[in-house]
A and B are shown apart, each in its own frame.
Chain A
Amino acid sequence: MPIEVNGNTLETDEEGYLANINDWVPEVADVMSKEDDLALTDEHRDIINFLREYYEEYQIAPAVRVLTKAVGKKMGKDKGNSKYLYGLFPYGPAKQACRYAGLPKPTGCV
């Protein structure tokens, strides 16, 4: 299902991930979270931006436990745990946050 963002139509795959990572703008997260009935906060955006930086550097979307550890290292232990991340992204921090960040589905996610 393509999504409408800022008046542009963006292609997605059958699971709702952006077809082209370069299509991403911050408003993609707003549109996608609205469809999930999730109110996006700065805490969500911090994780989304973190994922984009991770992808930029390593060319992959991290698996959930790697994300958890990496967030802990960068943002502190109070955020680097699955309780905090699942609280923000109930559908799974790696899968849902990666989708909002315009990244492909994390390698190893089923």
Chain B
Amino acid sequence: MSETVKKFLYLNRKAPYGTIYAWESLEVVLIGAAFDQEVRLMFLDDGVYQLTTGQDTAGVGMKNFSPTYRTLGDYEVKNIYVDKDSLEARGLTQDDLVAIAWEDWETEEEIENIVEVVDAARVSELMEESDVIFSF
């Protein structure tokens, strides 16, 4: 087995429920977490809608998968980024988004919320420094 840790960036650009992309991406992230790689998630364009709080799908007969994002910390995802311009264009702020906690189980180091709002330059930089980009 190779010891090389690669940087994986999952780039999410679609709203949940209207299409299957958001759920598919989340499933791949959860499955991919079994491999020891450095996993980062980026939400931009309509992808930012995946993280809104208060989703209630009872009326539309679909599975509400928004609570699952809160497990990502348990799945060794340590970095989640949201594009600032995408939020602003949609009248949203970080307060509209779910908080995702992370904890190192060995050292008990804790981060209360790993969701970070970043500017466009940082988005480009994160894409640039990733070894692999998965697009959804």
Contact = CB atoms under 8 A, between A and B. Distances in A.
A and B: direct contact (Cβ < 8 Å)?
yes
A66 B71 contact: yes
B34 A58 contact: no
B3 to A, nearest CB: 19
A107 B105 contact: no
Interface majority SS (helix, strand, loop, mixed), chain A = helix
B34 A59 contact: no
Contacts of A66: 33, 71, 74-75
A86 to B, nearest CB: 17
B105 A69 contact: yes
A63 B75 contact: yes
Interface string A44-87: 00000000000001111011011001101100000000000000
A84 to B, nearest CB: 16
Chain B interface: which size bin? Answer: 10 to 19
Interface in B62-86: 63-65, 67-68, 70-71, 74-75
B70 A58 contact: yes
Contacts of A59: 63-65, 67-68
22 contacts: A57-B70, A58-B71, A59-B63, A59-B64, A59-B65, A59-B68, A60-B65, A60-B68, A62-B71, A62-B74, A63-B33, A63-B34, A63-B75, A66-B74, A66-B75, A69-B74, A70-B74, A73-B105, A107-B27, A107-B31, A108-B31, A108-B33
